[in-house]
Amino acid sequence: MNAIISASELEGALAGENPPVLLDVRWQLSVAKAAGEPPFDGRAEYEAGHIPGAVYVDLDRELAGPPGERGRHPLPDVAQFGAAMRRAGVSAATPVVVYDGGQGWAAARAWWMLRWTGHPDVRVLDGGLPSWQEQLSVEVPTPAEGDFEPVPAPADLLDADDAAALARAGVLLDARAGERYRGEVEPIDRIGGHIPGAVSAPTTENVGADGRFLPAEELRARFKALGAGDGTEVGVYCGSGVSGAHEVLALAVAGVPAALYVGSWSEWSSDPSRPVAVGPDPQ
């Protein structure tokens, strides 16, 4: 099953016999506080207009736990996540489609969380809300309680030690911007640089100017050139496990399975005992 769905395909699915549950996960990494501006409010954006029937999901509160030693967006309590998904109407036998404001990162985090915990049919709206050309709604639905019970898959998840080992034995992709990977700038975390052995693979290069994923063949070629493919074990990390989920999604589109280090650089860099590499060389 393809991990993404086009707006036209979604329109057809919503009119079908088993329409998907729609989750709106609008979110963005905000540096507004530093600029003295109010932070991005995903719920307000949702209430101003969303795809009819969509339920809002809060990334910071429902797809992540409180920030701390495990990173800025650590895994939430699995039971609490399951309860949030059931409140949103998610059931095991019902397909789910997730979208955000167009960047794709937040939707990918929801996709990854549901896939990691065992939901068999989850897709991301390619291009997000901007790709939806039909009328929006301001009506906030009250879905029937779902029955989804999350069962995590350990093989899809990396911790810091796993990531360090994979950078040596397989391929560990760093989904952040190249300048953060190289350690030239670090606007958020304690120190810049990357996990020794990790390969720079900015997730922004997985999409075109319209925010939609590149064709699967192009993505497959890109990841193969980075060493990911042909049976190689692949892992991904980013700043806090959000844009990294988008890279895992791009890899899925390309047909390459990959695990996610959710703690990512925000966890790794918080521990002074862990090594840090700088510059363009993985080592």
Question: Does the structure show a pLDDT above 70 at 36?
Answer: no
Q: Which of 108, 110, 219, 238 is catalytic?
A: 238
pLDDT digits (tens, 9 = 90+) for 106-159: 999 999 999 999 999 999 999 999 999 999 999 999 999 999 999 999 889 999
Residue pair 234/256 in contact (Cβ under 8 Å)? The answer is yes
Residue pair 127/213 in contact (Cβ under 8 Å)? The answer is no
Rounded to two decimals, the pTM is 0.95
What's the mean pLDDT in 36-48?
87
What is residue 231's predicted lDDT score, i.e. its pLDDT?
A: 86
Residue pair 268/174 in contact (Cβ under 8 Å)? The answer is no
What is residue 32's predicted lDDT score, i.e. its pLDDT?
A: 45
Confidence class for position 1, pLDDT limits 50, 70, 90: low
The question of whether 238 is a catalytic residue gets the answer yes
Residue pair 14/8 in contact (Cβ under 8 Å)? The answer is no
Residues sharing a CB contact under 8 Å with residue 9, sequence separation 6 or more, in sequence order: none
> Residue 137 and residue 12: Cα distance in Å, rounded?
18
What's the mean pLDDT in 265-277?
96
Per-chain mean pLDDT for the chain: 94
pLDDT digits (tens, 9 = 90+) for 67-105: 998 999 999 999 999 999 999 999 999 999 999 999 999
What is residue 139's predicted lDDT score, i.e. its pLDDT?
A: 96
What is residue 35's predicted lDDT score, i.e. its pLDDT?
A: 59
Question: Which of 143, 141, 148 is CA-nearest to residue 121?
Answer: 148
